[in-house]
Amino acid sequence: MSDPRLAELIRRLPDVRLLTDAGDLEHYGRDWTRRWTPAPLAIALPATVEEVQAIVCWANEQGVAIVPSGGRTGLSGGAVAAHGELVLSLERMNRVLDFNPVDRSLTVQAGMTLQAVHEAARGHGLLYPVDFAARGSCSIGGNIATNAGGIRVIRYGNTREWVAGLKVVAGNGELLELNRGLIKNSSGYDLRQLLIGSEGSLGIVVEATLKLTDPAPPSQVMLLALPDMDALMQVFALFRARLALQAFEFFTDVALKHVLAHGGQRAIEGDHPYYVVTEFDAVDDRAQDAALAAFEQALEQGWVSDGVIAQSEAQAAALWRLREGITESLAARQPYKNDVSVRISAVPAFLHEMQALLAGEYPQFDVVWFGHIGDGNLHINVLRPEGVANDAFIAQCEHVTKLLAATLQRHGGSISAEHGIGLVKRAYLGSTRGAAEIALMQGVRKVFDPNGILNPGKLFAAD
């Protein structure tokens, strides 16, 4: 290693796995945003908590910034290393450490994929219920760092509901054991919850004790076509009152167009501006009758224009693919993304204002809307038209995000619902959090990471 800082790291940790090849630097230096050119110093792949601690101590002494790294499926640039940072990948720390049937908990290393966590829970006849399309690639540590949400929040809540304990290496190298799996613990600040969603700015999650629950009851999946935007929340209110919802997701005709062009199977004929995929408990015939009755009522009211109910697991998966395949179908176009939320009650008014804003500001762009409408969370993906230069495109999108942030502020919403602030939204943090709150957040960061070596430049515009 020609870099003296890396030579010192190797001297201290002769067995640590380090990568410095150009291909590895590029692979580990970026996430799914693809907006920044990766330029890390090196990639470290520790195998133990002690190695993570030693790397953090080395980084403090050498003044090297660390980017904690999971599956790098993030959409806000939180795992991007573009300024000579050391990427600390948890990839090799990917084992189940313990299952406790009495506590119904699973203790895992942070580098396990979400899918592997699902499988481990299933292997014990239980469910880890947080779920979303990137399950096969994202890591549980990354999920915790962003308090990931996904497609089952309406039933099960966000990641923070399912973390009973955390082991974290703080920015000073200290190992913290937070909450230790307790259900009741009224002994002061809950630092575990502070760490969840902190985007690698306070500590590196190395292990997590996850709560598990009973498997979901048998369910059915329905795809609905809707005639207009107002119908979205009307159908939601009706279905939520009548059925036990597991998911309620929406997308537009523009999103459908892209998924169909990407191998999705058309399930409803004709042109409809909005679609909903919903999944609900269908334990017996009565539950199925209730679903059909709700559908009939929505039809009579003119809130839905068509619908299909999956007749098999394969068809259910095909309907889900229409929703879950959206991000992948757009990926090659490197969309500009917004991930916003308002309270459910504020959705109708916010949607109208947002639609007017986007139609006025992006008259000639393909704008793809979809998301977790039942949680008040909308994803907006803007596609760069051919012939528009990338810089000009981003500049226009940033201008619109400023306006969107002001709209969100009026409606009491958030500029990042579930993807995190990272690099992408840090200029807009002030639209969602007050100045005093941000100052306190920065103060907390100083306590956990006095030298500012953990993920600097993420979350806050200035450290």
Count of chain residues binding ligand 2HG (CB under 6 A): 8
Residues 320-339 vs ligand 2HG: string with x where CB under 6 A? -------x---------x--
Task: Compute the radius of gyration of the chain from its Cα atoms.
Answer: 23
CB under 8 Å to 315, separation ≥6 — which residues? 221, 267
The closest of 30, 367, 370, 68 to 202, measured between CA atoms, is 68
CA distance 307 to 220: 13
For ligand 2HG, which is the closer residue by CB, 60 or 381?
381
Q: Does 381 bind ligand 2HG (CB under 6 A)?
A: yes
Which element (helix H / strand E) includes 66? Answer: strand 66-69
Cβ at position 133, least distance to ligand 2HG in Å: 5
Residues 82-121 vs ligand 2HG: string with x where CB under 6 A? ----------------------------------------
Which element (helix H / strand E) includes 4? Answer: helix 4-12
Strand partners, 379: 339, 370
For ligand 2HG, which is the closer residue by CB, 158 or 327?
327
Residue 421, both tokens = 């602030």
For ligand 2HG, which is the closer residue by CB, 126 or 354?
354
Q: Does 147 bind ligand 2HG (CB under 6 A)?
A: no
Q: Does 384 bind ligand 2HG (CB under 6 A)?
A: no
Q: Does 379 bind ligand 2HG (CB under 6 A)?
A: yes
Are 405 and 427 in contact by the 8 Å Cβ rule? The answer is no
CA distance 245 to 155: 7
For ligand 2HG, which is the closer residue by CB, 209 or 252?
252
Residues 332-371 vs ligand 2HG: string with x where CB under 6 A? -----x---------------------------------x
Which element (helix H / strand E) includes 231? Answer: helix 229-242
For ligand 2HG, which is the closer residue by CB, 135 or 426?
135
Strand partners, 166: 178, 208
| Contacting residue, 52, 67, 93, 133, with ligand 2HG by CB under 6 A | 133
Q: Does 65 bind ligand 2HG (CB under 6 A)?
A: no
**What are the phi and psi torsion angles at 139 (to 5°)?**
-110, 155
For ligand 2HG, which is the closer residue by CB, 69 or 327?
327
CA distance 378 to 372: 6
For ligand 2HG, which is the closer residue by CB, 264 or 452?
264
CA distance 425 to 116: 30
In the complex, the residues that contact ligand 2HG under the rule CB under 6 A are 75, 132-133, 327, 337, 371, 379, 381
